[in-house]
Amino acid sequence: MLAATMNWPRRIVLSVFPGAVALWGQPAPVIQSETKVVLVDAVVTGKRGEYIHDLTAKDFRVWEDNKEQPIQSFSLESAGRNQAESRSSYTVLVLDYSGMDAGDQIRARQAAVSFIDANTDADRLMAVATFDGGFRIAQGFTGNAGRLKDALTGDKSSAAAINNARAGTSAATDLGGREKFRSLERLAADLGPVPGRKTLVFLTGSIALANDQKAPLEAAIQALNKSNVAVYPVDVRDPSLGARFSAENGSSGGRGGRGGAAAGDGEVGGGGRGIAATRNMRGDTDPGVALDPGGASQQVLFALANGTGGFVIRNAGELPDGLQKIGQEQEEYYVLGYTPPESKEGSCHTLRVKVNRSGTNVRARSSYCTGKAPDLLTGSATEKNLESRAASAQAGNIAASVQLPYFYVGPNTARVNLAMEISPESIKFEHKKDSFHAEVNVLGIASDPQGAAGARFSDTLTLDFDDAEMQTWKQKPLHYEKEFKIAPGQYKLTVVFSSGGESFGKVEQPLVVEPYQPGQLALSSVAFGKEIHKVGDGSTELFEDRTPLIAGGMQLTPSGSMVFTKPEQAFSYFEVYSGEAGVIEARILDGKTDEVKWDGGSAKLNPQTASKSMIPVGMSLPIASLAPGPYRLEVAATGSGGKSVKRTADFEVK
């Protein structure tokens, strides 16, 4: 029986993702260090703003800290070119609701939806963030357009609430102040280590700029510039309401060289531009700022654009053409690579780029910072210590439980969404003044019967709390999640962790992954959880290091424990891989007698999803109606040809 998907009722819930097939095998964003090779993106335009495509490596020169560096790699990333070797691009849509009225908000969301539809795919990842008095990531980076648009829909209520907060107060000034620019600065820091194209599309309305807010704005511009993030500000206000501009511009927005180059000299670098800097696509000073009745707002937008290498969409009338050009710009750039001199981890260096051709304007980052390695334990003494504990027969003294659901991502390839709950009592904290600090190091090894490693991961969790936060944190287990890929087979997964000293935890559990080929009827294993939230709600990370479990617009947080108590809610999630039409069914059986204790009914598989589609299924389990004891959830899928597949998962009610 099919029921309303948004509430995850106690019946089967189906949600078909039309784009699921396109995401199979899609690699997750990889955060890499730039300590060995520095890649510099350079956009080169002519006098009329046209993109220049016929340059060679000999036409470019690059300086790091005023010392010229030999260019060792060179490519043109342009539409229809170098697709096999193209790098992922990263775009953040930021909707500044604090500067918009109700009409502005509608236009902003409509524009964002159109931009998402036109510019999202496996190599062009996008995230959605909002500012409505506080900065929030509504959806982390993904190539799934549906999830991005769901996040926009989920923000309607908060957007409407901000109108009430602003009415009759000076809230607009407060919301448009220092915190907004500091949020952009923090966002830039998060994007710093990411390779490839990085773009921030900033949709806003009125922005007040007081004298004490200029320093945070300059700091944000500097941080964005250092992290190679080009900002494209969009003023979504209706021009008929007073935002009129000079016809002399004749372009869709201001644009200037990153670092202050004038048009025609073909050079950029050495530092960010000041707030007064305003250039259009020709590189001329833009007279539109002085003529804007809301001049302060436009000055902020042009400062962000010219300080980072983007351009401004000045009003709602320019939205269609301007957004199309922003999307186009993500495939119109050169990539210059060189090996930098040795430097300390985390150090920052200035960059300068020049094109040896008159009549050109080049935009590139003016600095870069070295990053940290993504795996901090590799080759360390801590890793060796955890390896020894994993191989020994000694049990750990920190209690923990683990769940290992797996889901297919391609031919004979599965991802394991590990979830673990760690007892907080034995975590060792350092107490300094009013703060507590701890690090928990984790090592996981999946070994086959011959002892060979089918998968391996390591991680470091950093915990920092004040006194009040520490007391709250102790009330529940430490929740940890990790995703890794593995081939079908029989394994023993060993997860060992420590927080310093002799205390350590160790969990061992069998992991059996069955073979799978796309096109056949199959089921994933079942994931249990105690919490679900609407996509776009809750604490979403910018970079998701694991694939979220989403069905019907709701996301499950998998639990490390399959033990539920009466007051708790219980949910399950699994995936159907359908090669034909059919039905799915779900039942709960007594763990001792196999007696049916709950029948969830059945639901039809959509015939249009046949052949390749993945169908995510979410269910709410009736814990309150079950007596204490062991149980087994049984899910089955039957195709129209009569073939049936089944999965079971044990859980307990206390």
Which range among 295-304, 408-417, 444-453 shows the weakest confidence by mean pLDDT?
295-304
95 lies in some domain: yes
Is the per-residue pLDDT at 259 higher than 70?
A: no
Q: What angle do CA 65, 229, 332 make, to 5 degrees?
A: 95
| Percentage of residues in the chain having pLDDT higher than 90 | 31
Same domain, 471 and 394: yes
Is the per-residue pLDDT at 271 higher than 70?
A: no
Is the per-residue pLDDT at 599 higher than 90?
A: yes
* pLDDT tens track for 546-563: 778 888 778 899 999 999
Is the per-residue pLDDT at 49 higher than 60?
A: yes
Domain stop point among 517, 552, 579? 517
In terms of residues, how long is the chain?
Answer: 654
The closest alpha carbon to 347, from 373, 367, 366, belongs to 367
Same domain, 494 and 524: no
Which range among 59-68, 154-163, 339-348 shows the weakest confidence by mean pLDDT?
154-163
Domain hosting 535: range is 1-24+519-654
* pLDDT tens track for 406-431: 999 877 789 999 999 999 888 888 88
* pLDDT tens track for 310-320: 888 988 888 88
632 lies in some domain: yes
411 lies in some domain: yes
Q: Which CATH number do you get for residue 452?
A: 2.60.40.10
Same domain, 444 and 487: yes
Same domain, 523 and 390: no
- pLDDT tier, 244 (very low <50, low <70, confident <90, very high otherwise): very low
- pTM exceeds cut of 0.85: no
Domain stop point among 501, 517, 533? 517
- pLDDT tier, 650 (very low <50, low <70, confident <90, very high otherwise): very high
Which residues have C-beta within 8 Å of that of residue 571, sequence separation ≥ 6? 8, 528, 529, 530, 531, 532, 556, 618, 619, 620, 621
Cross-strand pairs, 465: 436
Same domain, 133 and 204: yes
Which residues have C-beta within 8 Å of that of residue 531, sequence separation ≥ 6? 556, 557, 559, 569, 571
Radius of gyration from C-alpha coordinates of the chain: 27
Same domain, 503 and 523: no
Same domain, 205 and 252: yes
35 lies in some domain: no
- pLDDT tier, 73 (very low <50, low <70, confident <90, very high otherwise): confident
Same domain, 505 and 567: no
Same domain, 533 and 505: no
Which residues have C-beta within 8 Å of that of residue 89, sequence separation ≥ 6? 123, 124, 125, 196, 197, 198, 199, 330
Same domain, 580 and 462: no
What is the structure's pLDDT at 84?
Answer: 37
357 lies in some domain: no
Section 432-459 average pLDDT:
88
Mean pLDDT of the chain, nearest integer: 77
Is the per-residue pLDDT at 580 higher than 50?
A: yes
- pLDDT tier, 545 (very low <50, low <70, confident <90, very high otherwise): low
Query: What SS3 state is found at 158?
Result: helix
Same domain, 492 and 436: yes
For CA atoms 257, 259, 260, 266, the dihedral sign is: negative
Structure tokens belonging to residue 158: 């908060």
The closest alpha carbon to 311, from 401, 201, 444, belongs to 201
Best mean pLDDT range from 4-8, 40-44, 296-300: 40-44
Q: State the total domains in the chain.
A: 3
